[in-house]
Amino acid sequence: LTVSGNFTSQGIDDNADALAITIDSSENVGIGTDSPSSYFSPNLVVHSSANLGGITIRSNATTDTNYLLFADGTSGNERFRGYINYDHNTDAMNLATGASVAITIDSSGNVGIGTSSPSSELHVKSSGTSSDTLTIENSTGNGSWRVKEGGSSNALFQGYNASNSET
């Protein structure tokens, strides 16, 4: 195919009875839809008209790690400030913010916050500061229970009232 001048495509046909891929005038891509600009984030829209539609990220080996990355630059950790990864070797999934893993779900379904190796269904590990590690607050915000770092070898479990005073 040789094209001179401006080229406009209405989409790519997969020889089926419907349009397979659309690239609109704003360079938004639609797979299975001819109107990707209709969506909140239109850059890439994948639409399935059948149950079990989705996107698959396939690994080459059982020891690979695959990523979905959120970048705000092109160098250093700006290339992956936020990400979701799946480690096929350990069957663990991680959610990262600020280029560091914040949450891990291991192969047993254990969830770790602040730890990459949770030892129970929910394992929350303090960052080592004297801040609250876990807060359980009622729906009105006028009472809570907090687990706090209590020093080098202990933790505190404290109740707070509506005035944010210890009870």
The alpha-helical segments, DSSP class H, found in 54-162 are none
Tokens 């989705």 label which residue?
54
pLDDT in tens, the chain (167 residues): 555 666 556 656 556 666 778 888 899 999 888 889 998 888 999 888 788 788 889 899 999 999 999 999 999 999 999 999 999 999 999 999 999 999 999 999 999 998 999 999 999 888 766 577 788 888 887 878 878 776 666 777 777 777 777 76
Burial call 43-72: b when 16+ CB within 10 Å, e when fewer:
eebeeeeeeeeeeeeeeeeeeeeeeeeeee
